[in-house]
Amino acid sequence: MVSAAQAHPWKLVGPWYRWERAALPSSGRQSAPALQKFAGGEFIADFLAQPQRSLKFDPQVDVVSHIGLLPAGVGAGQLKDKLSALFLSQLKTENGKTREVPIKPTDVTAAILKNIYRSRLVPSTLRKLYLPLHDRHYLVVCELHCDVPGFPSVARNEVCQAGFVVRRRQRVVPAHKANQAAALAQAVRVIEAELAELQELAPLRDDLAMKRKAAIAALKQLGQFEAVLAKLEQQRAEAEATMQAFFQQAGIGVRIEGWYPRCQDGKPSKTLGRWQLAEEAAAEGALAGDEHVFPLFPLVPDPREAGHDAAGRTIYYGVVPADALQYEPDGRKRFDDVATYQIQCFVRRHKPGLAKHVGEAKYCCCERVWSAPTEPYRLAASFDSLGCANRPITIKMPDLRELAAQVAARPRGKLSPVRIIQPQQLKPKVSDTSVSGGSLEGAAICFFSIPLITIVALFVLHIFLPIVVLIFQLWFLLLLRFCIPPRIQFGGALDAKLAAQPPSMDFDADFSVAMSNLPAGDVDFDLNGQVLDAAALNARLKTHLIKRMAEDGQLPEAKIALDAFSNNALVPLNQSYEDAKNQPQDPEQAPAGSDFAAGLEYEPRREPEWVLQGGRG
């Protein structure tokens, strides 16, 4: 350790296990604080125990993706497919501005086929951080050293304060250069889209995946794959160089802004503030030191663990804020999913003889040492589908029989805790099963049960999902609904045989199954030695299902009419009854769903490549 009296220069860098060469001083001097990703609510305790053990950043999921346009490469006949029409666009230039215009199948003509593009999700290099509601958490981690030969650690007691600031990055583009800059950026994106198509880097797959794989396999067989890939890489490098040269010539740069709380009653506001440059904040009467600071905490290892990753080192960590109840005066949130941010850490060197500051220490006069900024990042939106998929949610619908029993056992109103106050009532008039009108009536207070609201809401979802899909031709929305079939135990010989048939089987036309190999004694069917064709199967299923429905619904068999149902409708209905009959009664024994933790990959553990005598560096 080096004392403060020697006044060695300090370096605040990334943790040694994230250096290019672990713990090698020459590798760590230019490193920046690291962002580490975690899952689960106990991530801080896990980090303190094993600092290296954090989740890997996925090159497809943990980056911001943009919509890249690729030549559609389709003919007029293929454009009539309703699903593909949603992803087709035409580039139009009007008044010097190029914009993307969606194309409907009915609008396609031979003249515009050459200018049609389809959209493609293309990952970029910009880091993407998910939110706590996505069950993803992030820490910024840094390490303090003396910038002298050997790169020794600084004693923790020499630090007066440690913290970090979150700053916003904004590209400043002159108005008269905006169109040209957008065109150059679009050229780069088109090439990146082609690269993603070739490398299959897009995080979301579509139905053309197998065709793309076949095309890539053909290129590899011809020995052209690497050549095509190298050509695209060269084109992207040239396009990026052209864009950067234009940015430099046009004076297009990056504006780095800090968050400065608004002054209220002589104190910084906890809710209102503004993104500003330090010079602008000072001009408005604020001090540069008034920038909002988040705390960094020392990573103190257990002294009994000699092999701990922080043993003999001065490491600090802080929780990366993904949301904050802070707003600009016009109502915009401090953090959103549009802006790009970066983090910069700092420590203050304690002056001997002065009392140490606690907390933010805004007016501390001790020397402040800054780190390099972290990699830029952007926050995910709250409704991000990839983020929401990280945190499974189970909603159990109310049991109607249980509700009926509860209603019968309680006084009216006891099960309706949701009070809705209506200054005016909008009352629909329902005739048969349709709405025939409505009326505006006076004030009322209504009480509802939460299960009632849930049942109606799910019913409305089932009604409107196909309507929305049909009206707007959004067929891909159906892929966002995934049902896990229950664990099936077949109780009858016929059920077992039907389950063995492929899903594409047409039970009305080509179904024929021999029952001679089935065990005798099937109570319902007595099929030993028989052969069922489609007509015989239909008769057996109707008889069998009428008995089941009558028993389950306490209905007379004469009231159940299944004459209009074909085999293709009766077979799934029969299997559904069999599934329900064999399901476990205890909810704890219900079939398990997908394993949401199966895809978690952790960073590999590293050992230091360079160690000082008696310690880790």
Per-residue pLDDT tens over the stretch 50-69: 999 999 999 888 999 887 66
Domain assignment of residue 522, yes or no: yes
Looking at the structure, tell me whether residues 497 and 561 fall in a common domain: yes
Provide the pLDDT for residue 519.
40
Cβ-based neighbours of 408, under 8 Å, separated by 6 or more? none
Q: Is the pLDDT of residue 163 over 90?
A: yes
- Spatial CA neighbour of 157 closest among 317, 356, 316: 356
End-of-domain residue from the set 200, 222, 251: 251
End-of-domain residue from the set 447, 480, 513: 480
Higher pLDDT, 577 or 141: 141
Provide the pLDDT for residue 12.
96
Q: Which of 199-203, 346-350, 487-491, 503-507 has the highest mean pLDDT?
A: 346-350
How many CB atoms within 10 Å of residue 344?
A: 21
Provide the pLDDT for residue 24.
92
Contact 616/29 with Cβ under 8 angstroms?
no
Provide the pLDDT for residue 86.
47
Provide the pLDDT for residue 314.
95
Looking at the structure, tell me whether residues 574 and 504 fall in a common domain: yes
Contact 135/37 with Cβ under 8 angstroms?
no
Identity at 3, one-letter amino acid code: S
Provide the pLDDT for residue 609.
83
Burial class of residue 442 (count of CB atoms within 10 Å of its CB; 0-12, 13-18, 19+): exposed
Q: Is the pLDDT of residue 508 over 80?
A: no
Q: How confident is the model at residue 525 (pLDDT cuts 50, 70, 90)?
A: very low
Output the six-digit token pair for 376: 């830029």
Mean pLDDT (whole number) for 205-209: 43
Helices (H), 200-306: 209-221, 225-250, 278-283
Task: Give CA–CA dist 371/49, Å, rounded.
Answer: 25
Domain assignment of residue 539, yes or no: yes
Identity at 165, one-letter amino acid code: V
Mean pLDDT (whole number) for 264-268: 79
Q: How confident is the model at residue 614 (pLDDT cuts 50, 70, 90)?
A: very low
Domain assignment of residue 99, yes or no: no
Burial class of residue 565 (count of CB atoms within 10 Å of its CB; 0-12, 13-18, 19+): middle
Q: How confident is the model at residue 239 (pLDDT cuts 50, 70, 90)?
A: confident
Q: Is the pLDDT of residue 230 over 50?
A: yes
Higher pLDDT, 248 or 92: 248
Give the CA dihedral 548, 551, 557, 559, nearest 10 degrees: -100
Q: Which bin fits 437, alpha (ψ -120 to 50), beta or left (φ > 0)?
A: left
Provide the pLDDT for residue 78.
44
Looking at the structure, tell me whether residues 519 and 583 fall in a common domain: yes
Vertex 172: Cα angle to 167 and 174 (nearest 5): 165
Provide the pLDDT for residue 560.
73
Higher pLDDT, 171 or 613: 171
Looking at the structure, tell me whether residues 447 and 516 fall in a common domain: no
Looking at the structure, tell me whether residues 520 and 476 fall in a common domain: no
Mean pLDDT (whole number) for 391-409: 82
Task: Give CA–CA dist 346/316, Å, rounded.
Answer: 10
Q: Is the pLDDT of residue 592 over 90?
A: no
Looking at the structure, tell me whether residues 498 and 442 fall in a common domain: no
Domain assignment of residue 46, yes or no: no
Cβ-based neighbours of 96, under 8 Å, separated by 6 or more? 179
Contact 52/139 with Cβ under 8 angstroms?
no
- Domain of 458 in residue numbering reads as 400-480
Output the six-digit token pair for 498: 């039907």
Task: Give CA–CA dist 282/285, Å, rounded.
Answer: 5
Contact 136/391 with Cβ under 8 angstroms?
no
Number of domain units in the chain: 3
Q: Is the pLDDT of residue 201 over 50?
A: no
Domain assignment of residue 218, yes or no: yes
Higher pLDDT, 181 or 9: 9
Output the six-digit token pair for 139: 């820490």
Least confident of 282-296, 353-367, 374-388, 529-543: 353-367
Looking at the structure, tell me whether residues 560 and 520 fall in a common domain: yes
Q: How confident is the model at residue 366 (pLDDT cuts 50, 70, 90)?
A: confident
> What's the chain's average pLDDT?
76
End-of-domain residue from the set 251, 266, 296: 251
Domain assignment of residue 262, yes or no: no
Looking at the structure, tell me whether residues 499 and 579 fall in a common domain: yes
Domain assignment of residue 349, yes or no: no
Looking at the structure, tell me whether residues 515 and 577 fall in a common domain: yes
Task: Outline where DSSP puts E strands in 87-153.
Answer: 88-94, 97-102, 116-129, 137-146
Mean pLDDT (whole number) for 448-471: 85
Higher pLDDT, 433 or 387: 387
What is the distance, to the nearest Å, from the Cα of residue 25 to the centroid of all Cα atoms in its chain? 37
State the angle between helix axes of 178-199 and 225-250 in degrees (0 to 180), rounded to the nearest 10: 160
Looking at the structure, tell me whether residues 506 and 450 fall in a common domain: no
Task: Give CA–CA dist 516/527, Å, rounded.
Answer: 8
Looking at the structure, tell me whether residues 182 and 243 fall in a common domain: yes
Contact 422/445 with Cβ under 8 angstroms?
yes
Looking at the structure, tell me whether residues 472 and 501 fall in a common domain: no
Higher pLDDT, 39 or 106: 39
Least confident of 129-133, 211-215, 493-497: 211-215
Q: Which of 218-222, 282-286, 432-436 has the highest mean pLDDT?
A: 432-436
Provide the pLDDT for residue 616.
45
DSSP state of 558: G
Mean pLDDT (whole number) for 189-195: 75
pTM of the complete model = 0.69
Mean pLDDT (whole number) for 20-45: 93
Domain assignment of residue 541, yes or no: yes
Cβ-based neighbours of 556, under 8 Å, separated by 6 or more? 550
